[in-house]
Amino acid sequence: MRERGSEGGLIRLNRYLALNGIASRRRADEMIQEGEVMVDDEIVTELGTKIDPTLHRVEVDGVVLKPEGERKRYYLLNKPSGVVCTNDRRENRPRAVDLIADRKKGRIYTVGRLDEDTVGIVILTNDGDFAYRLSHPRYGIRKVYRVTVHGEITEEDLAKLRAGVRLSDFRSHFEKVWLKKKSKMRSTLLLTLTEGRNREIRRVFAHLGYPVRDLRRCEYGSLSDRGLKVGHWRPLTREEVAELADLACEENAGPPPKKVRRAARAPHRGERYGEQARGRSRPRRARHSR
């Protein structure tokens, strides 16, 4: 292995894999321990290993990550239902990255994720810093979802949506809630999120008693799904990339999010999708001396 660069240019190997869309940091650690990662043609199994991306050659499954001179790629996909946002080659379901039919795309990955059942626009790129800024809640990139639910939503429940609905592990927070139309059979709303939790929209409406019929992301930052049919994709223009980069610049960044200490408790009736925390023990009672 070549001599490492200065400390300022080093990055943990698991984080480098995550930034390149290979796997989460936890899964990257497993891949390292299992000998699936090579640095400068040597297998690395030691956790905590640091590399300098400008000096070291990192290889996973025969693919070299970010070879020197690689052109950065940016795509917009209108993801269909049934497609997953993962780069795991062992995945048997259709993957979003496989729908990008550009032969020059190289190794790309999705910026954030959409649930398998959710339709809507997704950005795919090989630019790790760009992807990090767009997906980090500190930069507050605005995302708009159109949701259609069973039933006629009440004014009381609209007020709850705007105030925030308490679930078992967090309180929902929608920046804006618009009611587009409603009938006795269904209601359609537009919701704005800057920080989304796993299946948050579906969980909130299930908690309120309105099963989701259709959910799609129609806007992401300065981008929208207008003119892009479901299942289709296109490259982003330089102007679009620049606009997104401006939205995620340091001047627009907020303070680092605070870590919230979550208390374990039984879920409310009506909560779904595995909301009850798993593997958590009940808090111990304090002992009072007499």
Does residue 46 sit within a domain? yes
Indicate if the pLDDT at residue 268 is higher than 50. Answer: no
Active-site positions? 115
What confidence tens digit (pLDDT) does each residue in 5-29 have? 445 568 899 888 887 777 778 888 9
Band the pLDDT of 71: cuts 50, 70, 90.
confident
Does residue 24 sit within a domain? yes
Q: What is the pLDDT of residue 132?
A: 84
Share of the chain above pLDDT 70, in %: 80
Band the pLDDT of 70: cuts 50, 70, 90.
low
Does residue 238 sit within a domain? no
CATH number at residue 34: 3.10.290.10
Q: What is the pLDDT of residue 265?
A: 47
Q: What is the pLDDT of residue 131?
A: 87
Number of domains in the chain: 1
What confidence tens digit (pLDDT) does each residue in 145-168 have? 999 999 999 999 999 999 999 998
All residues at 6 or more sequence positions from 158 whose CB lies less than 8 Å from its CB, including other chains: 177, 179
Does residue 278 sit within a domain? no
Band the pLDDT of 251: cuts 50, 70, 90.
low
* Alpha-carbon separation of residue 46 from 8, 13, 57, 64, 66 (angstroms): 21, 10, 17, 19, 22
What confidence tens digit (pLDDT) does each residue in 84-130 have? 998 887 889 999 999 999 998 988 889 988 999 999 999 999 888 88
Q: Which residues pair with 147 in a beta bridge?
A: 189, 215
Angle, alpha carbons 104-109-111 (nearest 5°): 130
Q: How high is the mean pLDDT of the chain?
A: 83
Type and span of the H or E element at 42: strand 42-43
Does residue 55 sit within a domain? yes
Does residue 82 sit within a domain? no
Does residue 21 sit within a domain? yes
Stretch 187-206: mean pLDDT: 93
Compare 271 and 163 and report the one with higher pLDDT. Answer: 163
Stretch 43-54: mean pLDDT: 89
Structural domain harbouring 30? 8-64
All residues at 6 or more sequence positions from 287 whose CB lies less than 8 Å from its CB, including other chains: none
Does residue 37 sit within a domain? yes
